[in-house]
């Protein structure tokens, strides 16, 4: 996966869900950041570099994790 879906719901490999709000660009470096909101507790707003958001799980550090990506897009059907 190398494209972020704005307003997509993503599952973090540790189990929580997040809504991607947008992509932000650092004004000096031009680095892209993902702006995402927790879908639990107090719905905090977070940012993480696009590179980190799209990275794979470190399976040496977390060998029990089955999910490949740090954040996996969830395919949610309309009802």
pTM of the model: 0.89
79 versus 40: which is more confidently predicted?
40
Q: For tokens 């639990």, what's the residue?
A: 40
* Domain range list for the chain: 26-72
Model confidence pLDDT, tens digit, residues 11-57? 999 999 999 999 999 999 999 999 999 999 999 999 999 999 999 99
pLDDT at 9: 97
pLDDT at 77: 83
C-alpha span between 38 and 21 (Å, rounded): 10
The full DSSP string for 29-77 is T--EEEEEEESSTT--EEEEEHHHHTPBP-TTT-TT---SBSEEE----
Q: Place 75 in a pLDDT band, splitting at 50, 70 and 90.
A: very high
Query: Each residue of 4-24: b (16+ CB within 10 Å) or e?
Result: beeebbbbbbeeeebbbeeee
């Amino acid at each position: 996966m190398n494209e972020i879906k704005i307003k997509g719901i993503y599952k973090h490999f540790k189990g929580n869900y997040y809504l991607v709000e947008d992509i932000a660009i650092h004004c000096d470096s031009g680095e892209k950041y993902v702006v995402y909101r927790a879908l639990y507790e107090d719905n905090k707003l977070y940012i993480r570099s696009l590179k980190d958001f799209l990275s794979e799980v470190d399976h040496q550090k977390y060998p029990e994790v089955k999910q490949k990506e740090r954040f996996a897009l969830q395919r949610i059907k309309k009802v």
